[in-house]
Structure formats: C-alpha cells, structure tokens
Structure 1
Amino acid sequence: MDKLPPQVTPPNASPKDAMTLAGIATDYINAKGQRESITQHTRERLFAAMSASEPNSGLLSDNSPLPPVSVFYTDCEYRIPLTRPGAYQWHLQLEDLALVETTDTNRYSGSLKDKNSSAIVLPSSLPLGYHRLIVSDPHSDNTNWSCRIIIAPKRGFIPRQLGNQAKLWGTCIQLYTLRSATNWGIGDFSDLKHMLHHVARRGGAFVGLNPIHALYPANPDSASPYSPSSRNWLNVIYIDVAGVPEFQRSASAQVWWNSAEVQQRWQQVRQTDLVDYPQVIALKLDGLRLAYAHFKHLNHQHERVQAFNYFIYHHGAPLQKQAEFDALHAYYARREPDMWGWPAWPKEYQDGNSDAVRQFVAEHQDEVRFYAWLQWLAHAQLAECFTLSQRQGMSIGIYRDLAVGVTEGGSDTWCDKTLYRIKASIGAPPDPLGPLGQNWGLPPMDPQIMVQRAYQPFIDLLRSNMRYCGALRIDHVMSLLRLWWIPYGDTADRGGYVSYPVDDLLAILALESQRHKCMVIGEDLGIVPPEIVNKLKQSGVFSYKVLYFEQNGSGQFKQPEEYPAQAMATITTHDLPTLRSYWQSGDLDLGQALGLYPNEQVLADLRADRERCKLALLDNLRQANLIDNSVNRHSDEFSADQPMTPELNNAIHRFIASSGSLLIGLQPEDWLAMDTPVNVPGTTDQYPNWRRKLTASLDDLFSDPQTDRLLKTVQSARDNLF
C-alpha cells in the first residue's frame, strides 16, 4: 500500500483543515446517486464531539518525529516518513525476538547522517507482525521516541476447502431462539453443541451465530445483540447452568434445582414462545450463585481454580473492568430499576477509573469476582463448542458476528470515554423509505484516537471476536471506510460521514485473520461505496449476498452462476422476512399493522413490487429446471398467488444452493416454514424484537422428514458444484 503519515490532527491546523484531517466529509453521494453537501454546522458539531472528552486527546505530540503507527503489506518498501527531519539513530525491535539472529543485529539498526533526513527506510522482507521502531537523537540528550510498525499479509485466511473451490453450506441461527429438552428458556452453548452435531452429520461446514457480545445481566430487557454493552466479552445468559461442574456437585444447588418452585419457574420460561429475558436471567443467576458458592470452597490447587486464576491473569485489566461494571450495574439496578446504564448512576461512579469505583470494588470484591467467573464459564463453554466442531471435521465450525458498535450506557464506553465519542452516535443517512435516516444510538470509535493508540483497540476487538470460531462476519463492513455520525440530540438527517483509515484496518484484519485461522465475511448490503468493493475483495473478505436483493437492472433475479465465488449467499437475514413471510407478504402486513409506512401508496407500491419479484423468481426456478417448465406461470401450481409449499421451499433452497458462491447460509426458520421475524427494523417496543423462539425443538427439527429432505437437497446441489 502507499504509505502516508496517519491522519492525526496536528496542533496548529486551522479549524477548517482540522475537520478535513479528522476525516469529516464535506459531501457524499446519497441514495438517489446525487451529491449532497454536509452543512458546516454539522461538521463543526461532529468535530466538537471528537474533542469533547479530553483536551488534545486526538493530537499528535509536536515532540516526536514519528507517527504513532505505520502499517505496510509484506514485501514492499517500508518507508517511515518523519514529522520532523533530523539525523537520528534508529533500532527496530521485532515482535518475535527469536527471529533475530546474532549476525542480523546490525540489520535492524541504523542512523541517518543528514540532519535534513525526512524518512527512515527499514530493511526489506520483515516478518509479519507488530514491531517497534525506536528512534533517538544523539545530539539532544538521547531522548527516545517509538512507533508501532505493522507488517501484514495481503489477504486474510481462507480455509483449505474454499481455496480448493469447494462449495460449502451451513446454517445461520439466532442462538437465543433454540429450544431443547434441557435449556432454561433460551438457547445456550449446549444447544449450540447439538446444533453443530446435527449440521455436521448432514455435511454442513458451519453454524453461524448472532452477535454473542456481552449485554446487561442487570437490565435483561435490553436484548438486542446488535446493541451490546461490550463487544470484547460474552453474553453470560448463554451459559448452560446445568453443565457447570460446580452446579452439578453442589448439594445446595441440587436441592434448589429439584424444588417444586424452581421446577415450576423452569417450566414457565421454557413454555413461552418469546424469550422471557428477565425471568431467564433471574433463574440462571440464582443457579450460578449457588454454583459459585461451591466453587469458592474448592482447594486453591484444584485444576478448575487454577484455570480460572489463569483466565484472570491472562485477560488482566479488561476483564476486571467488565466485571466491575456488571457488579456496579447489578448493585444499582437492585435499588432503582431505572438505572439502565452508567449515565443514570450517581456521578461519582460514571467514570470507570474514579476513586468511588475503586472503593466500591474494594468493598465488593467477591461480587466482582463472581462476574469475572461468569465470563470464564461462558468462554469455556464456547471453546468446547468450537473444539467439537473441529473434531467433527467442519471446515469452518462456528462463525461469529461482530456488531458495528456498542451502546452509550455499557461497559466499553464506561471504561473509555476518549475512544468512544458519546456526544455522537452512528446510523445511516436518509433514503426514500427512511426520509429522516437511521440513528442506532451507538457512540462511534474516534478514528484519530485509534491511530494515536496504534490501532490497539481494533486489534483487541478482532482478537476477542476471532476466538473460538473459523469465520467472523463483520456487520456493516463499510464502517472500515466510513461511518455516518450524528451529533448528540440531532436527527439522523443532520449527520455526516466520518472516514476511517480503511487500508490500515484491512491490513490489520488480514493479519489477525491469518493468525487466528479465521476467515472474514463482510456484510456489505445497502449502498456500498465503490472505493471499498475492490479493497474488500483483494483482502480476501467474502461478500454477503441475499437472494431477495440479487436482481439485475431490469428487475430479474440473478441466475445461480452469476453469484460471485468470494461470497456467502443466503435467502434472507435476521433483519428481513423469513422465506414464507416474504412469499406471502406477511412482512408487509406486519409493517402495516405496526404503522411503519408513511402512507397507503408506499405500501401499495411495496405490494406490487413483491408480486413482481415472486413472478421473476418463479421464472428463474423454471429456467434452472427446479420446477416444472410446463406449468403456466399464472396457474395454481407454483404461482405467485399460492402459499409457500414444501416443494416450492425445496426449489428455492436448491436454487440458492446451486449458486456460484463458495458459501451459503440457511436459516432454520425457513426449514420450519415460520413466518414471524426475529427483528423488525425501525421498531423499538412496537414488536418483540430478538425474542421469538423457533417453533420446534432441535430434536424435532432434525427428526422431521421434511428437514431431512431439504438438507439432502442442499448437500446434493453443493456436491454437484464441486
């Protein structure tokens, strides 16, 4: 890549230049393809949001001659521009010192003789990784400065089977929707094991998950997996309590579990069609506290105690802060239900590093340790799931989903108000169906702070989410290039784009992908800026293709062979109607009932377009010989007027399974012909988002002859493409 100094605002920049250097756009191409200006007032408010937390928090030191970080792809000229020319001495400290042989020592050191030298050129063929360049000025008290040097591969990891052009399939699930004979009213990590087992037996290569980021044990109604408290930690509600050894071995826990009252609570949460988050987390925490009481009495040399202590040591301060947040949140939520997050706490506790917080932790050490223990359990159970997938020969196993941001009141922002700019939120600009745009209520990471910290927050984020999986889906992958920032308190139509260092971020993504042997899928739906399309492809990031949207300019659906190979193809997603609902326009009926459409004409146009799409899809199925060509397109059999049938469902699944994309992801909701969605975008409390369960248990799902036929059809189509 061409190397330029990172765009960190210099201290002497004019306000206008400073906004441009900070990445705040002056205009953008809107949904109609027209260039639209971003007002000066909006740009000024966004710039103010960047500097609201700490004075000069995004500024380069005017003392160091080095940028905070330089990122390169391997096998190029490693040229580090100096911000202040001089005759410096330099030394490169490799990440892996074992790679430096005694005879090579001089190769990684040097000096600049000319006091007007403007760059340092490092030796060629540096190893991949994170290295440290140290520079000193021998003529001024030998002061040292340093910067991080990142050497990255040009492409991320691709599993061997995909490299050999194998056509793989898997299922994409919302983990909380799973039903089983054992879970406690919500899908859990043991259910995930069963799902992996069933899918692997039928030839599937992966099970894809909704984001399993940490939410709020003390505020369980905040259930959206895309609005997490922290993206670096796990949602402890997915712990299988009955699978915890201390729960099994605790006499008190077993007495509690077998009591009539608890068995009644257990049955009640299992019988609901919607996940009852408050009752589920209350039941689980009651059981986990009994298990923890048993754990505390284990000998300090017990292997599980040692494993937990190592977990604490390995994860250090970040784990400690997450546990502190959850303990404080639980403390205040017990006293006042409206304490939804840290902005509602007493002021002295709103800073994660305050004296008041330290005092609380000192007085509640056991409670803090309990929440760290829950993270350990969640990590251990998820790790077991991934290990199982590898033992069963699944080439990907688990793919996780990385949400685009975190909520204002969660642990990530509580710990780091400089990185997360809470005076702004991210969303999407206006489009024809959303004239005011979208505001997701998620404070953005400041790209200048990311650079100043040598991208460590981004590196940590990838490492946290590439654990225990063979693929990572990045929600709203365009965020690597730009995000729509909205000044706090404004509507989304008064926002503007802020750019991110896409080349550097993609390089780091490729490096971490290779190190974790974790491929990357980028959710690139909607308006995709042309400047990122080729970058993603060249970096080995798989695209994301949804059947409903794969139409050409004339409104015809693309044929399977037109799908790109470097992609995952799906029929639908969590934000879209199920196949049955799409075919029967149930989503439009629901949207009308919820008042989502501005007027009757918009709804009428959507219904007309849906009928056109159904006829176009039927034509494609006939052309692909997946339904009878002799049947008239308007007849009763396989017509746009008929309900979804098992035969039509199989034909559409075979159509997507025949696509040229190397991956396809299928939803169990479509195997079960379900019509209610898990999420209706644009709603908050009008619809029970992120709560709807599957209509069948895992055992019933996979013992159903129709599911068996459908998955055999899918596997056959994939095999025939190899």
Structure 2
Amino acid sequence: MSIKDMDQAVPDGGTRSELHELAAAHGVLTEYHGFGGGTASVPDATLVAVLGALGVDATGPQQVAHGLRRARDEDWRSVLPPTVVARQGHETTVPVHVSDGASVHVWLELDGAEPAARRHAVRPRRDLQQSDAYVAPREVDGRRVGRATFVVPADTPLGWHTLFALSEGQETSTTLVVTPDRLELPSVIERGQVWGVLAQLYSVRSRTSWGIGDLADLADLAWLTAHRAGADFVAVNPLSAAEPITPMTPSPYLPTSRRFGNPIYVRVEDILETAYLSAADRSLVEWAADPVRELDGNGGPIDRDAVWEAKKAALEVVYSAPRRAARQAAFEDFVTTQGVGLRDFATWCAIVEELAGEPWPAELTDPGSPAVAAARDRLADRVDFYVWLQWVFDEQKAAAQRTAVEAGMRVGIVHDLAVGVHPDGADAWAHADVLARGVGVGAPPDMYNQQGQNWSQPPWNPRALARAGYAPYRDMLRTALRHAGALRVDHVLGLFRLWWVPEGADPTAGAYVRYDHEALVGILALEAQRAGAMVVGEDLGVFEPWVREYLADRGILGTSVFWFERSDGRPTAPEGYRRLTLATVGTHDMPPTAGYLAGEHVDLRERLGLLAEDAQALRGQARAERNAAVAVLAGQGLVSDNPSEREVVEALHRYLRRSAAALVGVQLVDAVGERRSQNQPGTDTEYPNWKVPLGDSAGNVVLVEDLFDNARLRSLFAAVASAR
C-alpha cells in the first residue's frame, strides 16, 4: 500500500488517539523536536507506514484496535523475554510467565549462547532465585497467566549466556547478555591526549598500488606517521564489502555488508602464495596489474571498476595456487570461526556473479531455500573463492594493525562502521528476517540539510533483532572489531533511535523509531572490550540532550568538530570541549580546511544547484565564520595579524591540541593542502563523490612515498606533535 493510500486509510477522532497509542507501544515517536526548536508532529500516514514496516497492521480502526490489544499483552505471551541484557555488577530482574499457580524452575548456563560453545563445552550452571515481587495475573488469549520474577545476580560474568525455564514439563530458553558497566579505556587515554591521522584509504595510493589505496598502503601510512611524526592512530573510511561485480558502488557508507570486507583493498603481491606462483601465473598477475598501476599518478577520479576487474583476475590466479598444510589449516580455522554468516555472504557473491545484473528469481531470495542450497552446491568453487577473499582481506587487515602497533602507535588503526547497508546487498538478503522493509534510514531536516535525508538503507527491526538474540548485530561487531585499535560508529545516535522514511515519502515525512539502547550500546561495549578496542561514536546532528552523557558514562567517545562547536555564538574554548571525544577541524562531508576557509563549499554547492538560500548571503556567513575563528585563534596567541591560509590551518589544529578532547585527528587532506571535497552531500553523479585521489593544493597527486616530502605536511605534523 502506498503512503497516499495509507493517508486515506487513517480515521479521525478516537481511532487517531489509539493509533498514537499503538505507535508508542512499538517505540514509534508521534512527534519530535525540530532543529529550529519547535515540536513537529508526525503525519498519521507515516505512522501507519512505519508500523507496517514493523509488522503491525494499522490501516483501519479494527486493525488498530486489534494491534493495541496484542501490544498490551505481548510480553505475557512468552515464558521468557526474547533477550535479557544485563550490566555486570548490577542485579537484573527477569519476568517469567507461566500458567497461573504453576511452579517454575529457572536457571542460567554460562557462556552458552553460541552453538559452538553449546556443543563442545560443559557449561557452569546457576539456579536463579525468585524475588518477592507480586504481579497480578492476566487473562491472555483465554488463558490465565501469572508472572514470577527471578533475579540474575550482580556477579554474573561478562558474556553470552543462556537462561532456561521449566514449567509443567515444558523447557524454554532465551539469550542473556551481560555487558560491561563501562567500556575499559586504554591507560594512555585515561592519562592524556593522543593525536592521529584521518584518511580516506582508497585515495591514499603508492607507486605499487593498483590504482586505489589498499591495506599495504595503510600499513605504510601507519608506520611512516608513527615513526616520522609520532602519531598514535590512523583512522580510515569503512572498508566494508561492495558488489562482487562491476559497477561497484563508490560510497564506502553504502556497503553490501557491514560484517565483511571489500577485497579491492587487498594487495595481491602480499598474499603469501603469490611468491610461489609459476612463471606463467606470475605473468598473468603482472599483466592484470599493468593497466591499473598507471592510474596511481592520475589525478582524475578513481576508477574502482577498472581496479576491481584487474584485481579480481589476479586474485583468481593466486586463489588457484596450492597452499601449504599450515596455511590451509589457518584458512579452515577462519572459515569455522566466521561460520554460517561467511558461507551465506560468499553464496550471495557467487549468485550475484552468476546472475550478472539480471533480476533475482523469487526462489533465490530466501537464503534458506532449497534453490539457494542447490546454487551453493553448483557454485561451490566460486563460493570458496569468495570465502578465501575474506580470509586474505582479514590477514592483511591484521598485518596493518600489527605494523601500526609495532611502529609505536598506542591505538593503531581506527576502523569505521557505516550506519546501514545497501537495500539490495548481502546483509539485506541474509538478514531479511531482522531488517524492516518498506522504509529507509535517513535524517530529519537540520541546519545543514533542511530537506532532510533518506539514505535508502533498511533499518534493524528492533523486536525482530531482540527475538534473534542480537546475534546478527553481535557477529557484525565482532568482525568489524577484528584487528582494530578502535572502531568509529557512524551515526551512533542510531543505537537510540533512527529516522525511518517510508518508501515514496519525502524525507521530511519520516518518524523516529526507538531502539533498546541499553542492549545495543551494551553489546557494542562488550564486544569492544573483548577485542581490546575503543569505540568512537559519531554523535553529530539532532539528538536528545541525555544521549551524549549516557555514551560517555558507558565509555563510548563522541565526536567534536571545530566548526560545529559553539558556546554563546562563538567557537567553544579549548577547555570547553568534552573529554571523551575525537576532536577534528572538519569532516569528510566538508571541503578540506583550506577550501572551507576560502568558502569553496558555497561555490561548489552553487555550481551544483544545491543552494536553497542566496549565494552572496552564504558567502558572507562563510567569511564571518572564518573571521570569528581567526579572532579566537588570535586570542589564544596562535596566529599573527593577517595570517596566511597555512598559518590558520596549523593554528586550528594546535587549538584542538589545547582542548580537553582525548583524541585529536588531523585529516590527511589538510596536511598536504588538498582543497577538493571527498563527498558532497545531496549529490550522486553530479560530483565525483568518494573518487578524489589525495592531492596537494594544486591538485597534483601525492603518493605515500612522497608524503614527507610535502612541506605543508611536515610543518602541520610538527605543529601538532609539539602543541602540548
């Protein structure tokens, strides 16, 4: 049903009030605070569409009334909650529903939430005690149901456990997750401030790249910046999987899977088996590389499609080479560790390759169908190839982190997790049961985009995710956190609520849907602590005031951007910055600082027809913003009268080094004097988003080997390193 049809289906009067009650019961907000300070109401048609995406029919008075009745008794229909999330050090109560008057026995088995652990380990068992809390019984679906309350002890260890209940001969189980009260932070962060480099990896090429920056380039960048500048981390864009065939989506923030990696970032020559290729096979690899290696010095848009076609051909040659027994065993261990999720991802890749852009037959849309099983058998070698690609990607990701740490970095590589996935990608296929359909994730209007945004990414269905024991979310985090010193979570506010936009609706006609942030943030903290990694949440945009404080209390760092930090209309003083943040001058969605200071963001948006306001007025605002920044820098003694562009750029970073922020990031584009934006929000093909290679102020390509030959880079890094 279209949103127009739904608008006609929504009644007036009392049923509208019931519709709002039904929305609230399912975590759908009926109003929200707009960026202008007022309260905006969500259209009833949007509520109907969003409830429909949650699996709740609200298209008429009878359906709304039925939905309300079910919602009021929903928790009472199950013996145990779909998932129980507890904090270590705190008692947690669990409601248990059985026939009124029936006895029930409840116990906990530790570390038993995962099937592998359940099969191969004898798990410790604890009986849980019932509390004295009395709750009156209810009539539910013609049956009188009582509630008993049991207590999970405060000393239950961190991890994924299983709760069991036995009543009237029937045994029921559910997942219990015990999460850290607060994510442990490295001592270096607790003691002081560290700085590092932010880079779009695809843009950072070397003379031995294949036309795109790769994991070997990342390792070199980490080593060089650690040894020659004293940097403690390198943060990169998401390296998540894209399409296995061309054309490949350029945006790293619209992956086909957030769990698995994009093998375009693999350095073919660094795969061990490459060294043992026959002369003929080595020639095949070299021939594949020759055309794209020439692109490394090309200042034009990065051609991912040409790169992937070349790398894929070379990787197929290396894949066919025999592996030593130990290497084969390591590969098999990786496959076992990654489990069914890896098999499904590789199967999706093989099917996409076979279909070659043709529509998916209906029988292949269900990963568990007999047709998919048959396709997996038929395409077994291609499935194994795509599994192998993830293994070599993982090996080189590990090598980059190892190189960073051995070079002296106290954090290492900071990886990035996108907010969602492509609606036609691998995750959307494999997790259709826990993703909402008919809606896309976006953002309401704000001061930077007054039309709102629709990113077209299917969101998690909160209740379905809980029924799945949060396993898809957990597995995604585990892979994202592998070999990472830290993980940046894009739009971390989405762990609290997401803006759902119904298909066919304007982005302004969306609604916020609440999530169980205690579960999502807690599991994030648990998996990060197990991986020994920090978490940085990108918490920019519209948010509820308590959210940032909550994240800080859980040990999750936030994000501070100089241009957005304001106090009484002026740039926030260094001592006014939040402690647990990553502070930067700009973002990848803005021009590099040199371009921003010159107002080039206004010129570009005018050229692309994106301005909703008068261009001259916006240029005046940009000049006023620059003048205010220079005045604040002068007040700190960081610039002279009439400072040069370079002086202002360095002063802005020295200003951040004086701040209270735990981490300070220097964008590599600022270091080399680049002026071109990596991404212009609101555009698709109108601008070469995510295709701009690293270049200097004149647009000349800067390769990894030449970074420290750049005078601006050496000067900025020296200023940052000595600022404290």
User: How do 1:482-501 residues align onto structure 2 when only pairs under 5 Å count?
Assistant: 482-501=497-516
Residue in structure 2 matched with residue 325 of structure 1 by the alignment: 348
Work out the CA distance in 2 between the residues paired with 1:416 and 1:550: 38
- Match of 1:451, SS state, is helix
Does the C-alpha gap of structure 1 residues 45 and 656 become closer, same or farther in structure 2, counting only changes over 3 Å?
same
Does the C-alpha gap of structure 1 residues 233 and 257 become closer, same or farther in structure 2, counting only changes over 3 Å?
closer
How far off its partner does 1:581 sit? 0.6
AA aligned opposite 2:164: I
How far off its partner does 1:268 sit? 4.1
Q: Could you tell me which of 593, 598, 611 is aligned with 2:623?
A: 611
- Match of 1:70, SS state, is strand
Work out the CA distance in 2 between the residues paired with 1:277 and 1:480: 32
Q: Could you tell me which of 30, 33, 37 is aligned with 1:29?
A: 33
Q: Could you tell me which of 700, 703, 710 is aligned with 2:709?
A: 703
Q: Is contact 2:109-2:125 (8 Å) kept?
A: no
Does the C-alpha gap of structure 1 residues 385 and 143 become closer, same or farther in structure 2, counting only changes over 3 Å?
same
User: 1:197-230 CA distances to partner (integer Å, 9 max, x unpaired)?
Assistant: 0111121110001011111121343111100100
Residue in structure 2 matched with residue 634 of structure 1 by the alignment: none
Does the C-alpha gap of structure 1 residues 70 and 257 become closer, same or farther in structure 2, counting only changes over 3 Å?
closer
1:353 maps to 2:368: yes
Q: Could you tell me which of 310, 314, 320 is aligned with 2:333?
A: 310
Does the C-alpha gap of structure 1 residues 175 and 77 become closer, same or farther in structure 2, counting only changes over 3 Å?
same
Residue in structure 1 matched with residue 574 of structure 2 by the alignment: 560
AA aligned opposite 2:127: Y
Residue in structure 2 matched with residue 154 of structure 1 by the alignment: 181
Does the C-alpha gap of structure 1 residues 346 and 654 become closer, same or farther in structure 2, counting only changes over 3 Å?
same
1:440 maps to 2:455: yes
Residue in structure 2 matched with residue 4 of structure 1 by the alignment: none
Q: Is contact 1:242-1:248 (8 Å) kept?
A: yes
- Match of 1:613, SS state, is helix
How far off its partner does 1:653 sit? 2.2
Residue in structure 1 matched with residue 120 of structure 2 by the alignment: none
Q: Could you tell me which of 387, 390, 403 is aligned with 2:402?
A: 387
Residue in structure 2 matched with residue 677 of structure 1 by the alignment: 677
User: How do 1:465-480 residues align onto structure 2 when only pairs under 5 Å count?
Assistant: 465-480=480-495
Equivalences, count: 667
Work out the CA distance in 2 between the residues paired with 1:492 and 1:698: 41
- The runs of 5 or more residues in structure 2 that have no matched partner are 1-17, 58-62, 118-122, 138-145, 696-701
1:249 maps to 2:279: no
Q: Could you tell me which of 534, 559, 584 is aligned with 1:570?
A: 584
Work out the CA distance in 1 between the residues paired with 2:225 and 2:36: 42
Q: Is contact 1:226-1:405 (8 Å) kept?
A: yes
AA aligned opposite 1:283: A
Work out the CA distance in 2 between the residues paired with 1:559 and 1:25: 36
- Match of 1:294, SS state, is coil
User: 1:655-684 CA distances to partner (integer Å, 9 max, x unpaired)?
Assistant: 222222111011111111111011000001
1:125 maps to 2:155: yes
Work out the CA distance in 2 between the residues paired with 1:70 and 1:355: 34
TM-score (norm 1): 0.88
Work out the CA distance in 2 between the residues paired with 1:107 and 1:62: 25
Work out the CA distance in 1 between the residues paired with 2:26 and 2:674: 47
Residue in structure 1 matched with residue 165 of structure 2 by the alignment: 135
User: How do 1:362-377 residues align onto structure 2 when only pairs under 5 Å count?
Assistant: 362-377=377-392
Does the C-alpha gap of structure 1 residues 539 and 597 become closer, same or farther in structure 2, counting only changes over 3 Å?
same
Work out the CA distance in 2 between the residues paired with 1:578 and 1:452: 44
Residue in structure 2 matched with residue 20 of structure 1 by the alignment: 24
AA aligned opposite 2:333: Y
TM-score (norm 2): 0.88
Q: Is contact 1:188-1:240 (8 Å) kept?
A: yes
How far off its partner does 1:396 sit? 0.9
Work out the CA distance in 2 between the residues paired with 1:61 and 1:76: 23
User: How do 1:330-345 residues align onto structure 2 when only pairs under 5 Å count?
Assistant: 330-333=353-356, 336=357, 339=358, 344-345=359-360
AA aligned opposite 1:43: L
How far off its partner does 1:610 sit? 0.9
How far off its partner does 1:16 sit? 5.5
Residue in structure 2 matched with residue 421 of structure 1 by the alignment: 436
Work out the CA distance in 2 between the residues paired with 1:289 and 1:694: 29
1:715 maps to 2:721: yes
AA aligned opposite 1:88: V
Work out the CA distance in 1 between the residues paired with 2:329 and 2:448: 55
Does the C-alpha gap of structure 1 residues 41 and 656 become closer, same or farther in structure 2, counting only changes over 3 Å?
same
Work out the CA distance in 2 between the residues paired with 1:60 and 1:413: 27
Q: Is contact 1:269-1:279 (8 Å) kept?
A: no
Work out the CA distance in 1 between the residues paired with 2:714 and 2:511: 49
Work out the CA distance in 1 between the residues paired with 2:346 and 2:625: 50
Instruction: Report the more deviating stretch, 422-431 or 475-484.
Output: 422-431
Q: Could you tell me which of 59, 63, 76 is aligned with 2:90?
A: 76
Q: Is contact 1:269-1:276 (8 Å) kept?
A: no
Q: Could you tell me which of 287, 294, 297 is aligned with 2:314?
A: 287
Q: Is contact 2:274-2:282 (8 Å) kept?
A: yes
1:579 maps to 2:593: yes
Work out the CA distance in 2 between the residues paired with 1:162 and 1:617: 28
- Match of 1:217, SS state, is coil
User: 1:118-147 CA distances to partner (integer Å, 9 max, x unpaired)?
Assistant: 20123342222222221111xx2x111122
Q: Could you tell me which of 213, 220, 226 is aligned with 1:200?
A: 226
- Match of 1:224, SS state, is coil
- Match of 1:679, SS state, is coil
Over the aligned positions, Cα root-mean-square deviation in angstroms equals: 2.5
1:65 maps to 2:79: yes
Does the C-alpha gap of structure 1 residues 329 and 553 become closer, same or farther in structure 2, counting only changes over 3 Å?
same
Identity of aligned residues (%): 31
Structure 1 residue runs of 4+, over 3 Å off? 14-18, 55-64, 83-86, 104-107, 109-117, 431-436
Q: Is contact 1:162-1:662 (8 Å) kept?
A: yes
User: 1:70-123 CA distances to partner (integer Å, 9 max, x unpaired)?
Assistant: 22222222211234464211211112899xxxxx98853557899966201233
- Match of 2:398, SS state, is helix
- Match of 1:81, SS state, is strand
1:218 maps to 2:245: yes
Q: Is contact 1:223-1:690 (8 Å) kept?
A: yes
How far off its partner does 1:510 sit? 2.1
- The runs of 5 or more residues in structure 1 that have no matched partner are 1-13, 99-103, 632-636, 639-643
- Match of 1:82, SS state, is strand
Q: Is contact 2:592-2:670 (8 Å) kept?
A: yes
How far off its partner does 1:272 sit? 4.6
Q: Is contact 2:574-2:660 (8 Å) kept?
A: yes
AA aligned opposite 1:126: T
Residue in structure 1 matched with residue 694 of structure 2 by the alignment: 694
User: 1:160-186 CA distances to partner (integer Å, 9 max, x unpaired)?
Assistant: 11112x210000111100120100000
Work out the CA distance in 2 between the residues paired with 1:247 and 1:117: 63
Q: Is contact 2:92-2:151 (8 Å) kept?
A: yes
Residue in structure 1 matched with residue 13 of structure 2 by the alignment: none
Does the C-alpha gap of structure 1 residues 106 and 649 become closer, same or farther in structure 2, counting only changes over 3 Å?
closer
How far off its partner does 1:707 sit? 1.9
Work out the CA distance in 2 between the residues paired with 1:451 and 1:91: 20
How far off its partner does 1:187 sit? 0.3
Q: Is contact 1:67-1:83 (8 Å) kept?
A: no
How far off its partner does 1:347 sit? 2.5
Residue in structure 1 matched with residue 194 of structure 2 by the alignment: 168
User: 1:293-316 CA distances to partner (integer Å, 9 max, x unpaired)?
Assistant: 213xx46xx221121112112212
How far off its partner does 1:381 sit? 0.4
Does the C-alpha gap of structure 1 residues 452 and 194 become closer, same or farther in structure 2, counting only changes over 3 Å?
same
User: How do 1:628-639 residues align onto structure 2 when only pairs under 5 Å count?
Assistant: 628=640, 631=641, 637-638=642-643
